[in-house]
Chain A
Amino acid sequence: MLKYLLSRLGGMAVVMAIVAVLVFLLTRAAPGDPVAVLLGDQATPADIARVRVQYGLDQPLPLQFAYWLRELAQGNLGDSIFLQRPVTQALWERAEPTLLLALMAVAVAALIGVPCGVVSAVFRGRLVDQCFTGIAMLGASIPSFWLGLVLIQLFAVSLGWFPVSGYGEPGAPLGQRLHALVLPALVLGLLNSALIIRFTRASMLDVLGEDYVRTARSKGLPEGVVVFKHALRNALVPIVTVLGLTVALMIGGAVITETVFGLPGVGNLVVNAVLRRDYPVIQGALLVIAAIYVLINFLIDLLYMVVDPRVKV
C-alpha cells in the first residue's frame, strides 16, 4: 500500500517536472518581444534593454529556467508584465468565477447525466436508450460559444432573466454573482452532461453484468432495489472520477464560455495574456492549471483506495 502510494507520488513528480519544462519552453519559443510591446513605439533601445534586464530576459535560457524554478519553489510565479502585479495575485483574483462556474456546471452535468445514463443502461437498446445516446452525441457536437450565444439571445436579450455578460458590479453580493453564472453553468453543464451520460451508461452496464447483481435478482429483490442499491452504488465510483476530472479540466478549459459571457475567470486571463505575450502570466497560469489537474487525478486515485477495498495494489 505504502509502496503503491510512493510510486504514484513519484510518477506525479515526474509528470509535474515535464509539465514545468514544457511550459517554460512553450513561452520561450514564442516570437515577439514582450518588452517592446509593453513599452510601445516611443521606447528607445536603451529603455528596452533596461526593462529586459529588470525581468531577467537577457540571461541565457537554462539560467532563466533555473531562476524560474528557484522562485517557483518559494511559491513565486513572477510578476505580470502588463497587470503590474504578481501572477499569483492575478490568478487568485480570477479564481472565484472559474471555481464557482466549474462546480455549478458539474452539478448540472451530474444532475442530467447520471439519471439519463442509468435509464439508458437499464433499458439498453430500447427507444429511450437510443434517444439518450443520440442526445449525448448531439451534446458533444455543439460548440460552446454557439450554445452560449443562443442562450444569451433567448434568456438574456429576449426574456431579460439574466445579465447578457459580466460578473456583476465589483463587490456585488454573492447572490448577484451566482445569478450571472447561471447561463454559463448551463452551457458547460449541458455540453458536459453528454460525456457523463455515456460514461454512466457504460459503467452501469458493466456492473449490471456482475454476479452479485444476478444474485440480488435471483433472491427476488425488486428491480428498483437491485438497480439503485446494488448496481448504481458500485457504478458511482468511476462516475465520480470523471466528475472530478471534469471539474479539473474546467479550470482553464472553460475559456470559451468565460469569453462568451465576459466572465473574468482564469481561462480569460490566459487568453488575454496570450494576446499580449505576457509570458509570466501564461507560464504561471498553465503551470497552476496543469498542477491542479495532476493533483485532482492523484486525489481520485487515493479515494479509490479508500472507497474500494479491492484496490490494494
Chain B
Amino acid sequence: MKLPLALKLLLRRRIVLFALLVLSLITVLALGAELFGRVDPNDTAVLERLRGPSGAHWLGTDELGRDVYARIVHGGRYSLLIAAGTALGAVLMGTLLGLVAGFFKRLDGPLMRLVDAMMSFPDILLAIALVAILGPSMFNVVLALVLVYTPRVARVVRASTLVLRELLFVEAARAVGVSTPLILWRHILPNLISPVLVQLSFIFAYAILAEAGLSFLGVGVPPEIPTWGTMVAGSQSYAHQAFWVVLFPGLAIIFTALSLQLVGDGVRDLLDPKLKKSMK
C-alpha cells in the first residue's frame, strides 16, 4: 500500500512526471534501437557527409555520412547501459561499505579514512587513471566509475546507519536476541532504501556525464562503439561546419542527465516528511 501512495505523490509534481516521460521515451528508443533507428548507425555514405537535418536524415549526418539520429538512438543503449551498470554497482558496493562502517564501530575509522583518501582525487582524474590501468573497454569503464562513486554512496549510507543503529527498534531487536546479520538485513537495510534510491538516480546522471567525458578525452569506451560521448569526441573537429554533429548528442546527454536529477530530487522531496504533509 505504501508504494502506490508514494508514486501518486511523485506523479503529482508535473515536472517529475515530465522527467519520467522523457526517461521512458529515451529508454524505449534505446532498447528498440533496431526498430526506431530507421537506418544502420554504421552505414557510411561519403557523398552524404555533413548534411544538415532533413526528411531523410532527421538530425543530419556526420563526417562519414552516418545518420546522427540512428547513432544517437543506438548510442543511447550503450550510454544508458554503462550508466545503469555504474549506478547499480556503486550503490551495491557503497551500501555494503557504508553499512559495515556505520554499524561496526571498530571498522568505521579505517574504512572512512579509505573513503576520504579516495575522495581526495577529483572524480574524473581518478576515473581516467583507473581506465588507463584496466584498459579501455565498456566493462572497464563501468568498473572504474563504480570505484569512483562507491565512496560517495558509502558516506551517505554510513551517516544514515549511524542514526538507525541507535534507534529503539534496533535495541529491542538485539534485546530479544536477533542476530547481527538479521538486524542489518531486516531492520537497518529497509530503512536505507530511500537515501540509496536518491543516490542511485544522481549517480546515474553523473555516470552519463562521466562516460561522455572519458570518451571525449579518448580514455573511455573504444571509439568504434557509438556512445553519446564517442559521437561528440569523434565529430568535434567538424563542429564549425556542421554544428548538429555535436549539438544533438550533447542534447541527448543533457536531457537524460537532467531528467534523472529531477526524478532524484522528486524522490528526495517525497522522503522529506515535512514536505510530504504539505503535499497531501
Residues of A whose CB lies within 8 Å of any CB of B are: 11, 14-16, 18-19, 22, 26-27, 29-31, 134, 137-138, 140-146, 149-150, 153, 157, 249-253, 255-256, 259, 267, 270-271, 274-275, 277, 282, 286, 289-290, 293-294, 297
Contacts and interface: CB of A to CB of B under 8 A. Distances in A.
B213 A31 contact: no
B124 A256 contact: yes
Nearest to A21: B117
The 8 closest A-B pairs by CB, nearest first: A253-B122, A141-B257, A18-B117, A146-B250, A141-B258, A274-B132, A290-B120, A30-B133
Contacts of A286: 121, 125, 129
Contact of A26 (B129, B205, B209): B129
Interface residues of B, number: 42
B240 A289 contact: no
A253 B261 contact: no
B196 to A, nearest CB: 20
Given A18-B113, A22-B117, A271-B219, A253 B123 contact: yes
A27 B134 CA distance: 11
B257 A289 contact: no
B216 interface: yes
A15 B254 contact: no
Interface string B104-121: 000000000110111011
B118 to A, nearest CB: 7
B31 interface: no
A248 to B, nearest CB: 9
B261 A137 contact: yes
B122 A142 contact: no
Given A15-B117, A137-B262, A26 B239 contact: no
A204 B129 CA distance: 38
A250 B125 CA distance: 10
Interface in B126-152: 128-130, 132-133, 135
B82 interface: no
B91 interface: no
Contact of B219 (A18, A157, A274, A289): A274
Interface of B: 15, 113-114, 116-118, 120-125, 128-130, 132-133, 135, 205, 209, 212-213, 216-219, 229, 232, 236, 239-240, 243, 246-247, 250, 253-254, 257-258, 261-262, 265
Contacts of B236: 145, 149
Contact of A274 (B128, B213, B216, B254): B128
Contact of A146 (B124, B129, B253, B262): B253
B137 to A, nearest CB: 13
Could you say which of B123, B125, B218 has the most chain A C-beta atoms within 10 Å of its C-beta? B125
Contact of A289 (B125, B132, B133): B125
28 contacts: A15-B116, A15-B117, A30-B133, A134-B15, A137-B258, A137-B261, A141-B205, A142-B254, A143-B212, A143-B216, A143-B232, A144-B213, A145-B212, A153-B239, A249-B122, A250-B122, A252-B125, A253-B124, A255-B122, A255-B125, A255-B128, A256-B213, A267-B125, A270-B125, A270-B128, A286-B125, A289-B121, A289-B122
Nearest to B15: A134
A263 B258 CA distance: 29
B133 A29 contact: yes
Given A145-B213, A271-B128, A286-B125, 11 more contacts: A15-B116, A18-B114, A22-B118, A140-B261, A145-B212, A146-B253, A149-B246, A150-B250, A256-B124, A256-B216, A271-B219
A19 B130 CA distance: 14
Nearest to A31: B135
A37 B202 CA distance: 40
A262 to B, nearest CB: 12
Contact of A14 (B113, B121, B132): B113
Contacts of B114: 18
Could you say which of A157, A290, A293 has the most chain B C-beta atoms within 10 Å of its C-beta? A290
A27 B133 CA distance: 7
Contact of B217 (A15, A251, A253, A256): A256
Nearest to B125: A252
